[in-house]
């Protein structure tokens, strides 16, 4: 007799029912919608939502519903035409809000209450923006040499050795003016690389040279240290960009290294590339300095130079401002920054680390009633042509964004005011996410609209349906009742794949749909092997019950070997591949796991229910000449 224990039958039933429940949110589809949010990340008010409804009614743009979801407004439409019209109108009438196209799932409230959501769609299905950035690795090396330059200059000065240390390109030049102890200077140079003491090879190439000022050294980074600093710059920039993407609130973003010096960013659902690019590409920091009260900024502007000990800058209105050279606190000492409102005006609330707090405490205690300024430094890389070659030049824009008298003594927490809501939000985000280790510049940008994504979904769905029906028809004709059982398992396999994608909130991409189509064809392979083995046992004269048992038991090792090797390939594709290849690997890997369950355990459970309880089985409806 072929029977499963009751607990195993219940397990199969539970898995299928649970999979159907998890996959159910995907049945209801999506509505084209417009997402409206505040730039300061505060919740959208009901009054604003009413204003949106009034604007749409005045222009006779029909909408299905308007509601507040996750502190933002979501307006649903019946078609893409109304969605596009509403998007253009709201961008024009509400310039102080972030307006973006989106696809809103129609999941019922009771499923949402259970925490069930439809699977995420990738960039090519949902629409969104795609950026490819290149990292300025030469700038990263120069910045690293700049730290060596500052440290070495300090040590030589303390040792009483006159020098003219400077960085030229990828080389640190160390001319020694007074002919000091060159051996001691070389020891100082090699001591700059503290990690090098633990290495078996030299990480700094130190060569003695002759300059106009006398003897000295040329210092370059060895290949090992050069690759290490370049990898650090890429990793640091990737982490910073990922933090900034998280601040944008994008679901299932892709931020990953591509090649030697590039970073790929995909933001599904984002339809405003300008806002995303402004946040991602900025290299910004702050410096807090005291305002020069003893000299006139307009006089310095007319002379074209600042007095000794001061520097000349401009504020946001273009007016000249004189600041003291001494920096009180820099952006590196900021541990947190949030945007909000103080006495009805936009503000950024800043927290400092211990060293910055102590420095700020000493400065404010000595300068109560005197003005302090906030200098915003933003570096933007530009690709320009020099001598027939494209090179990266970093343009630094330094602006005084705030001046205020120190009203009292403070240290670790204070606020920056005098900003617009947009400036406050962007400044807080940049300070909180951290600065880029080295400049980046955009070399590719693509925007994919939700309508194109819907076309991809429709074509992918059609491919799955055609492939599924072709397999279903073939199995039903060739294997009769057993073929219908395999078709039932195939349908259950598709349901379980969708359920796992929804449960894991993995992004389904167009290559992922290709993986599902491939899985549809591969899912019946196990049943073909089992059914052919059953036929062979019947031809050898075995009883139907014994043939069923032998078919499943003897084919299992072959099925396991084939699926394990494919699963290994899918794992390698996921580990080493990029975004599209990973999407294919995810659905292929999940399809292999679910097909093993449905094709072996699931089909045998159904076959046992049909034939297992019979004492006399004269014939199996499995097709063929048996």
Identify the bridge partners of residue 385 per DSSP, sorted by sequence position. 390
pLDDT of residue 196: 46
Q: How far apart are CA 394 and CA 474, in angstroms?
A: 63
DSSP conformational letter for 164: -
Annotate 322-339 with DSSP letters as a single string: EEESS-SEEGGGEEEEEE
**Burial of residue 483 (number of CB atoms within 10 Å: 0-12, 13-18, 19+):** buried
Question: How many helical (H) and strand (E) elements, i.e. helices and strands, does the chain have?
Answer: 18, 23
Kindly tell me the burial class for residue 213, based on how many C-beta atoms sit within 10 Å of its own C-beta (0-12, 13-18, 19 or more): middle
Look at residue 21 in the predicted model and tell me its pLDDT.
92
Residue 66, beta-bridge partner list = 75
Q: Which residue has the tokens 């051996």?
A: 183
pLDDT of residue 17: 92
Please choose, from the candidates 604, 501, 486, the residue with its C-alpha nearest in 3D space to the C-alpha of residue 11. 604
Sign of CA dihedral 255, 258, 261, 264: negative
pLDDT score of 85 = 87
User: CA–CA separation, 12 vs 14, rounded Å?
Assistant: 5
What the chain holds in terms of domains, given with CATH numbers, is: 6-25+450-612 (1.20.1640.10), 30-105 (3.30.70.260), 137-227 (3.30.70.990), 284-419 (3.30.1360)
Residue with tokens 């580990």: 575
Q: What are phi and psi of 622, to 5 degrees?
A: -120, 5
How far does Cα 187 stand from its chain's mean position? 44
Q: Quick one: which H or E segment has residue 398?
A: strand 389-405
Which 8-state DSSP code applies to residue 274? H
Start-to-end CA distance of the chain, whole Å, equals 20
Tokens read off for 176: 């020694």
Nearest to 601 by CA among 538, 526, 528: 526
Per-residue confidence (pLDDT) for residue 219, from 0 to 100: 87
**Confidence (pTM):** 0.59
Residue 377's closest CA among 285, 506, 289?
285
Q: Which residue has the tokens 């222009």?
A: 59
**In this structure, what is the dihedral angle of CA atoms 511, 515, 517, 518, given to the nearest 10 degrees?**
130
Q: Mean pLDDT for each 10-residue chunk of the chain (626 residues)?
A: 80 91 87 76 81 88 85 84 85 77 80 83 74 81 76 78 81 78 80 56 78 82 80 77 67 74 79 64 72 88 86 86 86 71 80 80 86 78 61 71 79 76 70 66 72 69 82 86 88 90 81 82 83 86 83 85 87 78 85 88 87 75 68
């Amino acid at each position: 007799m072929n029977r499963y224990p009751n607990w195993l039958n219940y397990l199969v039933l539970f898995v299928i029912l649970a999979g159907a429940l998890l996959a159910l949110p995907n049945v209801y589809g999506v509505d084209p919608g417009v997402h409206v949010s505040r730039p300061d990340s505060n919740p959208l008010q009901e009054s604003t939502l009413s204003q949106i409804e009034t604007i749409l009614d005045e222009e006779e743009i029909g909408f299905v519903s308007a509601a507040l979801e996750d502190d933002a407004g979501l307006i649903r439409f019946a078609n893409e035409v109304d969605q596009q019209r509403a998007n253009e109108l709201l961008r024009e009438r509400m310039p102080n809000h972030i307006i973006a196209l989106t696809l809103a799932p129609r999941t019922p409230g009771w499923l949402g209450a259970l925490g069930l959501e439809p699977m995420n769609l990738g960039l090519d299905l949902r629409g969104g923006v795609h950026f490819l950035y290149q990292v300025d690795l030469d700038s990263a090396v120069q910045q690293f040499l700049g730290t060596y330059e500052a440290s070495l200059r300090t040590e030589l000065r303390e040792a009483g050795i006159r020098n003219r240390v400077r960085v030229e390109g990828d080389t640190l030049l160390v001319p020694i003016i007074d002919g000091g102890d060159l051996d001691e200077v070389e020891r100082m140079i090699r001591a700059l690389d503290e990690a090098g003491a633990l290495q078996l090879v030299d990480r700094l190439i130190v060569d003695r040279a002759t300059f106009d000022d006398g003897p000295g050294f040329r210092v370059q980074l060895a290949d090992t240290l050069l690759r290490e600093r370049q990898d650090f710059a890429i990793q640091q920039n990737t982490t910073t960009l990922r933090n900034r993407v998280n601040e944008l609130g994008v679901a299932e973003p892709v931020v990953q290294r591509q090649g030697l010096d590039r970073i790929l960013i995909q933001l599904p659902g984002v339809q405003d590339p300008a806002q995303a690019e402004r946040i991602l590409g900025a290299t910004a920091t702050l410096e807090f300095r005291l305002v020069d009260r003893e000299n006139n900024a307009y006089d310095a502007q007319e002379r074209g130079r600042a007095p000794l000990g001061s520097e000349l800058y401009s504020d946001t209105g273009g007016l000249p401002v004189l600041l003291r050279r001494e920096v009180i606190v820099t952006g590196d000492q900021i541990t947190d920054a949030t945007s909000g409102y103080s006495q009805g005006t936009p503000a950024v609330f800043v927290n400092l680390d211990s060293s910055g707090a102590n420095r700020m405490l000493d400065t404010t205690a000595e300068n109560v009633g005197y003005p302090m300024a906030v200098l915003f430094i933003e570096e933007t890389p530009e690709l320009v042509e020099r001598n027939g070659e494209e090179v990266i030049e970093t343009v630094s824009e330094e602006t005084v964004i705030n001046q205020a008298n120190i009203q009292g003594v403070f240290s670790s927490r204070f606020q920056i005011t005098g900003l617009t809501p947009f400036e406050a939000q962007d400044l807080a985000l940049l300070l909180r996410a951290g600065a880029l280790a080295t400049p980046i510049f955009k070399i590719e940008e693509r925007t994919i609209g939700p309508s194109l994504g819907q076309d991809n979904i429709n074509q992918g769905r059609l491919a799955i349906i055609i492939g599924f029906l072709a397999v279903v028809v073939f199995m039903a004709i060739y294997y009769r009742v057993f073929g219908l059982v395999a078709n039932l398992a195939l349908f259950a396999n598709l349901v379980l794949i969708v359920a796992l994608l929804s449960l894991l909130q993995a992004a389904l991409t167009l290559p992922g749909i290709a993986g599902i189509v491939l899985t549809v064809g591969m899912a019946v392979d196990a049943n073909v092997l089992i059914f052919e083995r059953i036929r062979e046992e019947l031809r050898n004269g075995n009883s139907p019950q014994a043939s069923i048992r032998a078919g499943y038991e003897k084919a299992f090792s072959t099925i396991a070997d084939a699926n394990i090797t494919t699963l290994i390939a899918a794992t390698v594709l996921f580990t080493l591949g990029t975004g599209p290849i990973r999407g294919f690997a995810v659905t292929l890997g999940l399809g292999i796991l679910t097909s093993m369950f449905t094709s072996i355990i699931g089909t045998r459970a159904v076959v046992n229910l049909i034939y297992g309880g019979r004492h006399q089985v004269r014939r199996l409806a499995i097709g063929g000449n048996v």
